[in-house]
Structure 1
């Protein structure tokens, strides 16, 4: 049997399917898991009071972490979710109010919005920085203005997501609409974040297409063998004295 040419051989990276946008966010299970502690907190608070709500929400976060561990699913979303619930529960305990459970998330959204906007102002848009660092594609995108502008738009889209969360949930907090706060936290969580990520995907594809086109138009550097062959040809054409 003849061996396939090197160009015909498929690497593991070629055969391995790329994760979808939903899979990168933890899949359907990630959407469900992130909602469970919030729903548990609101229901427990309505029927059994604040103390029960605090402990049951933390308990549900622990249970989700253990479940992910047993099922050998990615632990990072569960661990970050657990700490988020623990901090929210602590604030609710300290304030003595059920709506305090949502206070951390509200002001975290404001901080994130500020950071994203600031990154655009200093010409290091977070969407571009994070994507290219994770994929090891270097800083070529920053030298191409259209690519950078695309990542600026994507970063501002994410900033808008966080700004919307802050404005809506802050208003619900001030009006003491705890139940609606829970609904807003879930509805404006992954679903709204997914819309922002769609803009990031657009920016990535736009930048990759531009950088690929620019790379194809640039002259390729000569290899050692090509330099040696050119010099040999030059000396061969030089008449002897």
Structure 2
């Protein structure tokens, strides 16, 4: 048996590590997501006015977008921050309650958590779609990954990590929302954003490092 060929053989874990790395925005993407929230909280603590806080968050999001465009860089990650900020602003301005700016995120975590559970039970794990989205070769057959039983098994385990992440977010932020703790909601959103994703990715990394599932397994 050719030892070198075995070592170099592609694995499910290696493929997923590549795709997850491409899907995440890195430190800059995380900063672009966190800054509008930070601006909202700081403005709220300073002025205790919902409109002032919303305007601050929107202004920061727009500046981040302009910087990306001016540098001729992809606005892919900052667009998500702009959209999230716009939705949060709508909720806060509509009710006049600053804590409602965080309600879409909490509801989103509940929704994605339930969706992740259903996807695992149905063997359509969400992480599998992340893998497919990062692979140009799968563009013509975006559901082709489901024919690889090994890939589905590993993606199921990784998706359960996301379930845990969403559960922690809801468990921490929902009580703060009902208590009207705007500043703590802002801190929690930032900490449970990129840092929590890093922790989840670290757990996924341990799963991937310990695994050596042949990519051709079906």
Alignment TM-score, normalising by the size of structure 1: 0.71
Aligned position for 1:42: 41
Q: Compare relative contact order (CA 8 Å, sep 6+) and give the higher one, 1 or 2.
A: 2
Distance change >3 Å, CA 209–CA 50, structure 1 → 2: same
Matches within 5 A, 1:34-73: 34-48=33-47, 49-73=49-73
User: Matched residue pairs, number?
Assistant: 195
Q: Residues 39, 90 of structure 1: CA spacing in aligned structure 2 closer, same or farther, 3 A cutoff? A: same
Q: Which range is displaced more, 114-123 or 130-139? A: 130-139
Q: Equivalent residues in 2 for 1:74-89 (5 A)? A: 74-89=74-89
Equivalence for 2:14: none
The answer for the alignment partner of 2:156 in structure 1 is 152
Q: What is the rounded CA distance, in whole Å, between the counterparts of 1:84 and 1:185 in structure 2?
A: 12
Q: How do 1:220-239 and structure 2 match up within 5 A? A: none
Deviation per CA, 1:29-54: give whole Å up to 9, x if none: 22222111111111111222211111
Q: How does 1:59-138 map to 2 (within 5 A)?
A: 59-135=59-135, 136=137
Q: Deviations over 1:67-91 (max 9, x none)?
A: 1111222211111110100110110
Provide the rounded CA distance (Å) in 2 between the counterparts of 1:43 and 1:95: 20
Question: For the residues of structure 2 that align with 1:133 and 1:101, how far apart are their CA atoms?
Answer: 30
- In structure 2, relative to structure 1, the CA distance for the partners of 1:147 and 1:26 (3 Å cut) is closer
Q: Using the alignment, how far apart are the partners of 1:176 and 1:140 within structure 2?
A: 44
What runs of 5+ residues in structure 1 fail to find an aligned partner? 1-17, 216-241
The 3-state SS of whatever aligns with 1:211 is coil
Alpha-carbon distance, 1:184 to partner: 0.5
Structure 2 length-normalised TM: 0.78
Question: How far does residue 206 in structure 1 lie from its aligned partner after superposition?
Answer: 7.2
Give the stretch that moved more between structures: 100-109 or 70-79. Answer: 70-79
Q: Which has the larger radius of gyration?
A: 1
Cα RMSD, aligned residues only? 2.6
Take 2:205 and 2:146, find their aligned partners in 1: how far apart are those partners? 15
Output the CA distance in 1 between the equivalents of 2:157 and 2:132: 16
| Inter-partner Cα distance in structure 2 for 1:93 and 1:192 | 28
**CA distance in 2 between partners of 1:211 and 1:43 (Å):** 48
